Structure 1
Amino acid sequence: MPAASKTNRQLFKTTWPFVAVVASLLALVATSLSIMSSVRAYIGGESTWSKGQKDAVFYLIRYAQTGDEKAFRQYQSAIAFPLNLKRARLALDGARSDLGTARQALLESGVDPADVSSVIWVFRTFRRDSFFEQAVTYWTRGDALVEQLVAAANELRVAKAAGRSGRNEVDSLTAEIWNINAAIAPISRAFADVLGVAFRKTALLLLVVNVVVAALLVSLSVWYARRFITARLASEHALRRSEARAKATLGSIGEAVISVGPTGLVEFINPAAERLFCRDAAGCVSRPLTELASIAREWDRRPVDLIEQALRGEQPWDASTDLVLTNVHGTETVVQAITSVVHDTSETITGVVLLLRNMTREREYVSELSWQASHDGLTGLLNRTEFERRLFASLHAQPGIEGAQRACMLMMIDLDQFKVVNDTYGHAAGDTMLREVASLIKNCLREEDSLARLGGDEFAALMFDCDEQTALPIAERLRQQVAAFEWSCETHKLSTSVSIGLVDLRGLDTETAMRFGDIACYLAKERGRDRVHLAVRGDKELTRHASAMSWCGRIKDALANNRFCLYEQEIRPVDSAGSHASKQHPRHVEVLLRMVGENGKIVSPYHFLPAAERYGLMSAIDRWVVRAVFATLERTGNPEGIQYAINLSGASIGDERFLQFLTDQFEISRVDPASICFEVTETTAVANLAAAARFIRDLKERGCKFSLDDFGAGMSSFGYLKHLPVDYIKIDGGFIKDMLKDAVSRDMVAAINDIGHSMERLTIAEYVESEAILQALGTMGVDFVQGFHVGRPALWAQNIEFLEVT
């Protein structure tokens, strides 16, 4: 909204009460004058009426005496005034006022044209007022006498026309005229007296009203002036408080604030500005800013005058630009400036407020944060992120840049048995060991090498301008010094050793280099620890480990993205007289896991399960399979009462949390435990017999079945079978495939079958791939068979995207 419009609106809000009272007073005065003028007009009308009546009597008497027709005409002219006033009264006093007739009659009766409207308004407004009604009554009685006078005049004219014969009648009419005149006189005086009293009372009333209105106006003026003064004082008090708060706020903030007037002289500075300029406020006020300090751009030291630019109305200074402020003592401070131009209501520049932000602490924070982002907080070495950034930069240097083709080596260092120190002496001792070893490693490396702590007890060094012949002696010397180093932890002497992997970085990318370094370090540990292993291209063991690590990543990706599927393979009863399998035994199938690879290709478990076992992913896979089987059965049901066999790994068998997981899954899905058969391998069960027996017993109490898989592959004794309450024994497929050609294998199958039956276990033969093997197994009395000849694996759970892998 424009300033002029705001001012006018504020002026109207301030003055409208006075304007309203004055307007009311003026209206009252105008009304009073109108009433007084109307009363005056009535008094004048009464004078006109009385004079006309008297003149009419005078001319009638003269006419009676002389018979002069001129006198009679003068009578008629005089009597017209009272008659017109009567006509006006009758026009106004009727049921419906005839304003036109009344106006014409009043004009003809001699009333001033300016007073006609007031006379009509007063008659219509105050007709029922006691004074006015009394006056109208006298007016009516006077009009009646005037009518008698008119009648007498008419009779007189007739008598005069009769001559001598009418002389007596003329004398009688003359006497009557004098009587009518005598009767009119007191009525006229009474009418005038009533109007006089009304005039005086009206004047008094109007005076009282005007005095009251004047007093109201004075009271309103006093009240409004008091209110205005009170508001002004409150505004001034609020302004002083606001000014005090503003000064307190400006004094408490850390940024320097300088207020400059339109002439460029300083008007105010806060304490932060005093500290920045090394001057007190009194020494800065009324002086130009350029005398207090100089300001220049940081990158080129070019002076800038922020105040002059702002006063000229130029673009505001970029607040993100760093400036250098030099005070009178020569102290330099990096600042950022914000200028705000102050305008008045007419948009004229009245000053500039300059805010200077001291960037010293921010720069310290940025430097500290930058260091923290790239360094390990415990050892002060580079962290993994910064190390991988430097490794990437060194491997992707553009050809032609100096040092781009130089040889570089990656050294991966891992402390041996660090977990023992943490578990035995506590994490404080472990942290002390890491700091001591980090310092020792750093001293063994060259100045130009980059050393980092990757996490836990893992370190890495990037060695520039270094080949295998240079790196191996450095790594060996480092290994020896760490092995010989001891430090005290309370009353104990602690020592450690390191396993070191070396990788030549030429021709590698960042991911491959880090993977090869991890593998080289792992091989050093696997071969006995406290040694250095150089990763050589073409090394089969290195390739095997790299492949396993690659599968590890693919397995994790498949778990995260639900890219597994389930197959089923039937386990069929052997139809023979010697079979222990009942024909009423439920249909039995084994659930087999497959990975969905690229382009939807199905990947056999023989490719990824070894990597999963090596890197501890079997328990996660087992959980995925259990969730998938239970969710599928919950969705589709099990109307045929099929028994599903699920393979479990040794990692799951020995994990108490996995047992609780199975319990939760049974409760969540409400799958019948009798429809689930868990398969565990013989080697897994024997490796931890007590845990396996407890695991099997807990689930069998719920109604689950168990099968001992690959029985005979690692067998040394049948005695442990007594401690494993399994329902099925699956004879290892290696014996089944060779049983027709190898008598020992055939005898082993027969022995396992007989012992299983003697312990009341059902037997299952795997890898049944021909009719001859099937008939031989039937002759032996094996209960169930499984293999390509009986039935190939077929896709079972096709749509498992609804699973939520957690």
Structure 2
Amino acid sequence: MRVASKTTNRQLFNTIWPFLAVVISLLAMAATSLAIMSSVRAYIGGESTWSKGQKDAVFYLVRYAQTGDEQAFSEYQSAIAYPQNLKRARLALDRPDPDVPEARAALLASGVFPADVGAVIWVYRTFRRASYFQEAVAYWTAGDLLVDQLADAGRQLRAAMKRGDAGRADVDHLTDEVWNINGAIAPISRAFADVLGSAFRQTAMLLFTVNVVIAVLLVCLSGWYARRFITARLATENALRRSEARAKATLGSIGEAVISVGPSGLVEFINPAAEKLFCREAAACVNRPLGALVTVAREWDRRPVDVIDEALKEAEPEDVSGDLILTNAMGVDIVVQAITSVVRDQSDVLTGVVLLLRNMTREREYVSNLAWQATHDGLTGLLNRTEFERRLSNALDRESDIDPSHRAQMLMMLDLDQFKVVNDTYGHAAGDAMLREVALFIEECLREDDVLGRLGGDEFGALLCNCDKQTAMQIAERLRKDVAAFEWSWETHRLSTSVSIGVVDLRQSGLDVETAMRYGDIACYLAKERGRDRVHLAVPGDKELTRHASEMSWCGRIKDALANDRFCLYMQEIRATDLEAGDPSGIAYPRHAEILLRMVGERGDIVPPGLFMPAAERYGLMSAIDRWVVRAVFSTLSQMPQRERMEYAINLSGASIGDERFLQFLNEQFAVSGVAPSSICFEVTETTAVANLAAAARFIRELKKRGCKFALDDFGAGMSSFGYLKHLPVDYIKIDGGFIKDMLKDAVNRDMVAAINDIGHSMGRLTIAEYVESEAILRALREMGVDFVQGFHVGRPEPWAQHVEPINI
């Protein structure tokens, strides 16, 4: 409040200071005018005193000359002292350094009223140089000279009177001179009075004019301030009306109910949202307490809450952090949230409360929908994978307080057979309809306490309560038969399907959610692998189950390694059998090396490909691995300095050979990295090439046009004839290492190596022998004419690119 008072006083002073300045100026001018007028009056009075003293002095001096009365001479001396004291005051003030005390004493002695002495001195010193005052002083000075002559005549007359009859003639002469002096003083006295009168009138007119100007200025200033005040007030009123209109428009457009309550607790305003919430018009709500319009209570205990009264009393409010229940005029209960804001003026005085009520109905519905969507599948309405796994986790938690009769004891994983065929044949809409129909049918086939969820795609999961293995297998078998017999209509078609089911006993120890789900997936996969439309029970210790579990584990590790670039590259040299010999054209063979892939384990250990490649082939990860290898090799080569001719062999899988997108990927990598195609040799296995001969031949021809080389790897391991070699334009034939390592002990293997080498040469292909592990094998291969050798005797694999930054496309 003190701050507000200081601010108000400052604003008040800023407003009235011009008026104060004008009034103070007017008072100063009035005071000055009075001082000047009083001084002029004092001078006029002094002139009267001076004239009276001079005249009395003449009168008494002449009487003294006629009668010789000493009393008359004394009266003369007293009378002439008045003009002499005025002369003394003038002379004191005319000095370069005015003697004010002397002048004050002289003026008092001359008979000037004591209150006027200071004004007389101030006027004399202030206006001494003014023309009219100089003229008056000149008359004063002239009069003082005549007074001096009168005083001199008085001294001479007294001397003559003392001589008696002898001085009678001088007395008469001096008497005539006194009368002459008196006659000379009279016009000077009148002129002095006229000058002072004229100055008085001029001064009065000037002061009047100044006072009129100040008064006019005051009137103009008052008018200007009044106009400014009226204009500011009108502008403020217009701004308030506009602000009020904007506030009403804003409050009318927002979705929350806004209620303004005055300090008396009566409603002053409600917006349209509040009208709708209260089921009352605004006119019927104004000037009434809020409690008479609606009732507000806490949601959890229905205890009434008066948020307005608490806000007006500025008391510590009750805990209304939760939602409230508002009951309107129609008796309808609505969940709301209340927010109160106290309104205060500039003096911090409470002037009202604004209450905001937020209707939480839609939010409640939205939260409910979100909660349902978070736990259910949008297509089938079944539990989604997250919620299914949560319930599975609860079933596996032996320490939970779930009733054992309601605890899931068996897990079923269901996968629809040939679902892709329906999608491809009839479209995805038919596939979605199939999933909905089958989901509803399976849910009807299960027991009431069983839980069914959609885990993704055409995969479902079920948790069976109060159930053992035998009962679970019976339920699964019955369900399999029912699904196989189930049909539904799609447009003009009658569709049907079958289901493969994997069953897992959740009562066995050591199971967690991930393991149980993995066993269920494997059991379902085995059911599909054995002909579909089957039920398979996951039995602990099953070798097939263990193998698939291991492969699935490797599948996750491979994906993690791909995501985190935890692979590295090794290089193994491929050397010509006779380093001194050249090819038939006389050009030396380029240096040759094969790029080998290794996985980096989580602890930094190197994992050989034999451990993770089978899982990668089974679960379709070979194409992703091939892409990683190509990026890594091309990135490394693009950063290496140019050396002598060198060929790098890169192994490709069958999944990449038959993929047109992979061919496009290779072309892009050549363009981005700038690697010369002539330095790259792609290796494909014989079984891969023969499995899709046309695609392999097309793939090889496309890349050979760019200058790439090709090698047929593991040749002889699965061939039935050499006829297909005519259709594969490869540059190298790599003889399978199974023939090489035992060729010195097994004549058949030696003959096979010789035959493959001879036939390869006859077709214009160069040959490469793998698994060369001794000098004896190397000499035998050289004698046969094999072109290149590879193996531990020639060179072991060495790290080539440990930290690779693949090129991003």
Structure 2 residue aligned with 1:778: 782
Structure 1 residue aligned with 2:428: 427
Q: Deviations over 1:223-264 (max 9, x none)?
A: 434443454455445545555555555555544444555555
Structure 1 residue aligned with 2:439: 438
Structure 2 residue aligned with 1:567: 570
Query: What amino acid maps onto 1:593 in structure 2?
Result: L
Aligned counterpart for 2:597 among listed residues 587, 593, 600: 593
Do the aligned residues in 1 keep the contact of 2:650 with 2:681 (CA within 8 Å)?
A: yes
Structure 2 residue aligned with 1:38: 39
Aligned counterpart for 1:706 among listed residues 707, 710, 713: 710
Q: Deviations over 1:294-322 (max 9, x none)?
A: 44333233333434433443223444312
In 1, Cα distance between the equivalents of 2:158 and 2:633? 143
Structure 2 residue aligned with 1:368: 369
Do the aligned residues in 1 keep the contact of 2:92 with 2:98 (CA within 8 Å)?
A: no
> Aligned-residue CA RMSD in angstroms?
3.5
Closer, same or farther: CA 81–103 of 1 in aligned 2, 3 Å: closer
TM-score, structure 1 as length reference: 0.89
In 1, Cα distance between the equivalents of 2:99 and 2:678? 117
Q: Deviations over 1:576-611 (max 9, x none)?
A: 777749784333222211111132111111111111
Query: What amino acid maps onto 1:446 in structure 2?
Result: R
> Which of 227-236 and 66-75 deviates more?
66-75
- 5 Å-filtered alignment, 1:535-554, equals 535-554=538-557
In 1, Cα distance between the equivalents of 2:234 and 2:363? 45
| SS of structure 2 residue aligned to 1:593 | strand
Structure 2 residue aligned with 1:557: 560
- 5 Å-filtered alignment, 1:104-119, equals 111-112=112-113, 114-119=115-120
Closer, same or farther: CA 137–609 of 1 in aligned 2, 3 Å: farther
- Measure how far apart 1:170 and its partner are: 6.7
Structure 2 residue aligned with 1:310: 311
In 2, Cα distance between the equivalents of 1:453 and 1:410? 13
Do the aligned residues in 2 keep the contact of 1:56 with 1:78 (CA within 8 Å)?
A: no
Query: What amino acid maps onto 1:310 in structure 2?
Result: A
Do the aligned residues in 1 keep the contact of 2:632 with 2:807 (CA within 8 Å)?
A: no
Q: Do structure 1's residue 656 and structure 2's residue 660 form an aligned pair?
A: yes
Percentage identity across paired residues of the two chains: 73
In 2, Cα distance between the equivalents of 1:677 and 1:162? 168
| SS of structure 2 residue aligned to 1:600 | coil
> Which of 625-634 and 533-542 deviates more?
625-634
Structure 1 residue aligned with 2:186: 185
In 2, Cα distance between the equivalents of 1:743 and 1:328? 106
Do the aligned residues in 2 keep the contact of 1:86 with 1:143 (CA within 8 Å)?
A: no
- 5 Å-filtered alignment, 1:448-487, equals 448-487=449-488
Closer, same or farther: CA 783–224 of 1 in aligned 2, 3 Å: same
Q: Deviations over 1:597-637 (max 9, x none)?
A: 13211111111111112222222222222222232233342
Do the aligned residues in 2 keep the contact of 1:318 with 1:338 (CA within 8 Å)?
A: no
| SS of structure 1 residue aligned to 2:706 | coil
Closer, same or farther: CA 718–42 of 1 in aligned 2, 3 Å: farther
Do the aligned residues in 1 keep the contact of 2:681 with 2:708 (CA within 8 Å)?
A: yes
Do the aligned residues in 2 keep the contact of 1:276 with 1:327 (CA within 8 Å)?
A: yes
In 1, Cα distance between the equivalents of 2:642 and 2:207? 109
Q: Do structure 1's residue 620 and structure 2's residue 624 form an aligned pair?
A: yes
Structure 2 residue aligned with 1:799: 803
In 1, Cα distance between the equivalents of 2:704 and 2:572? 23
Aligned counterpart for 2:519 among listed residues 516, 525, 539: 516
Do the aligned residues in 2 keep the contact of 1:579 with 1:782 (CA within 8 Å)?
A: no
- Measure how far apart 1:677 and its partner are: 2.5
| SS of structure 2 residue aligned to 1:599 | coil
Structure 1 residue aligned with 2:391: 390
Closer, same or farther: CA 679–61 of 1 in aligned 2, 3 Å: farther
Aligned counterpart for 2:537 among listed residues 529, 534, 541: 534
Do the aligned residues in 2 keep the contact of 1:87 with 1:105 (CA within 8 Å)?
A: no
In 1, Cα distance between the equivalents of 2:114 and 2:694? 134
Closer, same or farther: CA 62–489 of 1 in aligned 2, 3 Å: same
Query: What amino acid maps onto 1:651 in structure 2?
Result: A
Q: Deviations over 1:92-128 (max 9, x none)?
A: xx5x777677666656655555445544554555455
Closer, same or farther: CA 81–413 of 1 in aligned 2, 3 Å: same
Closer, same or farther: CA 70–792 of 1 in aligned 2, 3 Å: same
Query: What amino acid maps onto 1:418 in structure 2?
Result: F
Runs of at least 5 residues in structure 1 that lack an aligned partner in the other structure:
none
Structure 2 residue aligned with 1:685: 689
- 5 Å-filtered alignment, 1:263-282, equals 264-266=265-267, 268-270=269-271, 272-279=273-280
> Which of 47-56 and 591-600 deviates more?
47-56
Query: What amino acid maps onto 2:323 in structure 1?
Result: D
Q: Deviations over 1:355-402 (max 9, x none)?
A: 433333322222222112211222111112221222222222525642
Do the aligned residues in 1 keep the contact of 2:648 with 2:679 (CA within 8 Å)?
A: yes
Aligned counterpart for 2:756 among listed residues 726, 737, 752: 752
Q: Do structure 1's residue 694 and structure 2's residue 695 form an aligned pair?
A: no
Do the aligned residues in 2 keep the contact of 1:334 with 1:360 (CA within 8 Å)?
A: yes
Do the aligned residues in 1 keep the contact of 2:673 with 2:807 (CA within 8 Å)?
A: no
Closer, same or farther: CA 75–315 of 1 in aligned 2, 3 Å: closer
Q: Do structure 1's residue 22 and structure 2's residue 23 form an aligned pair?
A: yes
Do the aligned residues in 1 keep the contact of 2:258 with 2:355 (CA within 8 Å)?
A: yes
Structure 1 residue aligned with 2:729: 725
In 2, Cα distance between the equivalents of 1:110 and 1:208? 34
Runs of at least 5 residues in structure 2 that lack an aligned partner in the other structure:
none
Do the aligned residues in 2 keep the contact of 1:88 with 1:103 (CA within 8 Å)?
A: no
Query: What amino acid maps onto 2:369 in structure 1?
Result: E
- Measure how far apart 1:722 and its partner are: 3.4
Structure 1 residue aligned with 2:195: 194
Q: Deviations over 1:325-384 (max 9, x none)?
A: 445665433333333444556655555444433333322222222112211222111112
In 2, Cα distance between the equivalents of 1:200 and 1:695? 127
Do the aligned residues in 2 keep the contact of 1:562 with 1:805 (CA within 8 Å)?
A: no
Aligned counterpart for 1:665 among listed residues 669, 674, 685: 669
- 5 Å-filtered alignment, 1:34-113, equals 34-54=35-55, 66=68, 70=74, 73-74=77-78, 77-91=81-95, 111-112=112-113
Query: What amino acid maps onto 2:543 in structure 1?
Result: K
In 1, Cα distance between the equivalents of 2:549 and 2:789? 38
Do the aligned residues in 1 keep the contact of 2:84 with 2:144 (CA within 8 Å)?
A: no
In 1, Cα distance between the equivalents of 2:136 and 2:434? 127
| SS of structure 2 residue aligned to 1:519 | helix
- 5 Å-filtered alignment, 1:97-246, equals 111-112=112-113, 114-123=115-124, 125-127=126-128, 129-143=130-144, 145=146, 175=176, 178-236=179-237, 238-239=239-240, 242-243=243-244, 246=247
Do the aligned residues in 1 keep the contact of 2:408 with 2:463 (CA within 8 Å)?
A: no
Closer, same or farther: CA 691–59 of 1 in aligned 2, 3 Å: farther
Structure 1 residue aligned with 2:490: 489
> Which of 514-523 and 579-588 deviates more?
579-588
Q: Deviations over 1:184-233 (max 9, x none)?
A: 43233223222222222322332233334334333433443444345445
In 2, Cα distance between the equivalents of 1:710 and 1:214? 121
In 1, Cα distance between the equivalents of 2:583 and 2:415? 57
| SS of structure 1 residue aligned to 2:773 | coil
Closer, same or farther: CA 666–329 of 1 in aligned 2, 3 Å: closer
Q: Do structure 1's residue 674 and structure 2's residue 675 form an aligned pair?
A: no
Do the aligned residues in 1 keep the contact of 2:57 with 2:75 (CA within 8 Å)?
A: no
- Measure how far apart 1:767 and its partner are: 0.8
TM-score, structure 2 as length reference: 0.89
- Measure how far apart 1:31 and its partner are: 2.7
> Which of 187-196 and 577-586 deviates more?
577-586
Do the aligned residues in 2 keep the contact of 1:580 with 1:783 (CA within 8 Å)?
A: no
In 2, Cα distance between the equivalents of 1:571 and 1:64? 168
